[in-house]
Amino acid sequence: MRTKQVRPDKLDFEYELYIYKDYDGVTGKDFIAFDFRTKKVFENFAYRINVEPNITADRQELSFNIEGLSAPLLDFSKTGPAFFIYKLYDFRNGSYALHLSKYRKNKTLFRIEILKNGIKLTHDPEKKFIKVITEENFVS
């Protein structure tokens, strides 16, 4: 008798991006955090997502290119998703174009609105490889 092969569930998205405002007690400044995470939870290591940020001088366009994962340089194991956090300190309230790509392909354009009391996702395309979650629908 042949046993049934177990396959992992197919994930809707490979990555999630949490965007939220926070405060840095060391510098005394507010910042916008771009917290990238994989949907997959790794059993042996806490991997790091390699992300290349490209922020324009006027800060109205934010681009992030996900380049893959790298193994940690730790002697002990730790479980959890892979992650990367980018902190944007010098921001202004207003509308921003958020370009996300994976391996310089799969380019997706989102739009976010940075308000005095939070961050709102104003354009969420249907075809995407990443799910963007802002403060308005963030549950920790």
Go through 44-77 and write b for each residue having 16 or more CB atoms within 10 A of its CB, e for each that does not: ebbbbbebeeebeeeeeebbbbbeebeebeeeee
pLDDT band for position 133 (cuts 50, 70, 90): very high
Q: According to DSSP H, which parts of the chain are helical?
A: none
pLDDT at 114: 92
pTM, to two decimals: 0.84
% helix, strand, coil for the chain, step of 5: 0, 60, 40
- The residue-averaged pLDDT of 50-62 equals 87
Q: How many residues does the chain have?
A: 140
Read off the pLDDT of residues 62-101 as tens digits, 9 standing for 90 and up. 999 999 998 877 656 677 888 999 999 988 899 999 999 9
